[in-house]
């Protein structure tokens, strides 16, 4: 039954469904608004990248305390001035409050370890599992089978029933 379903899916009907999905995704991608963001959209985007200096784990966009309000006001002023890019504004805030104010660490310098160490640990864990599985397989291959036990018992002249 499953093979019949797969044959139908691989037939012209399946290709037609795939084509419709691809065309729909392309239409959505083409139809997206790619115009320059408004000032309010820029403020929102920057506020989501900056952590609240007081709260733990909240962005300036989410937080409603006075420190976050002051940061949002600073961001609005710099966006309204129009002289700095989003990255320049985030860099300014980082220099003023320190690197811990960034919700997403930069991928340069010492901060790049935040991105590299988990990947390195994953590769090491995978390599460790490969080594462990190979050892286990080698150990299982060297274990005696029932046929081996019978052969040894016959060579000794013993029956397997005797202890």
Tell which residue, 106, 104, 102, has the closest CA to residue 71.
Answer: 102
**Same domain, yes or no: 96 and 135:** no
Q: Same structural domain for residues 96 and 124?
A: no
Find out whether 41 and 49 touch, Cβ atoms under 8 Å: no
If asked whether residues 46 and 97 sit together in one domain, one would say: yes
What is residue 3's predicted lDDT score, i.e. its pLDDT?
Answer: 66
Are the C-beta atoms of 149 and 161 separated by less than 8 Å?
A: no
Alpha-carbon span 52 to 59, nearest angstrom:
5
Q: Are both 136 and 94 inside the same structural domain?
A: no
**Domain annotation covers residue 28:** no
CATH classification of the domain holding 54:
1.10.8.640
Co-location of 129 and 84 in the same domain: no
72 touches 78 (CB < 8 A): no
List pLDDT tens digits, range 53-109: 888 778 888 888 888 888 889 888 888 988 888 888 888 888 888 777 887 777 677
pTM above the 0.95 mark? no
- Per the structure, how many domains does the chain have? 2
Indicate if 120 and 67 belong to the same structural domain.
no
Residue 139 and residue 94 share a domain: no
The residue range of the domain holding 75 is 39-104
The whole-angstrom separation of Cα 27 and Cα 30 is 5
- 86 burial type by CB count under 10 A (0-12 exposed, 13-18 middle, 19+ buried): middle
């Amino acid at each position: 039954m499953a093979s019949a379903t797969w044959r139908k899916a691989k037939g012209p009907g399946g290709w037609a469904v795939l084509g419709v999905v691809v065309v729909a995704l392309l239409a959505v991608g083409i139809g997206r608004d790619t115009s320059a963001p408004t000032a309010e959209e820029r403020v929102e985007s920057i506020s989501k990248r900056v952590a609240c200096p007081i709260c733990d784990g909240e962005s300036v966009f989410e937080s409603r305390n006075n420190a976050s309000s002051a940061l949002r006001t600073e961001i609005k002023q710099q966006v309204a001035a129009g002289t700095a890019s989003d990255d320049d504004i985030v860099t300014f805030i980082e220099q003023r409050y320190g690197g811990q104010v960034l919700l997403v660490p930069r991928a340069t310098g010492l901060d790049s370890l935040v991105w590299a160490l988990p990947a390195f640990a994953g590769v090491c864990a995978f390599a460790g599992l490969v080594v462990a599985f190979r050892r286990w397989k080698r150990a299982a291959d060297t274990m005696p089978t029932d046929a081996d036990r019978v052969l040894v018992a016959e060579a000794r002249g013993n029956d397997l029933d005797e202890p």
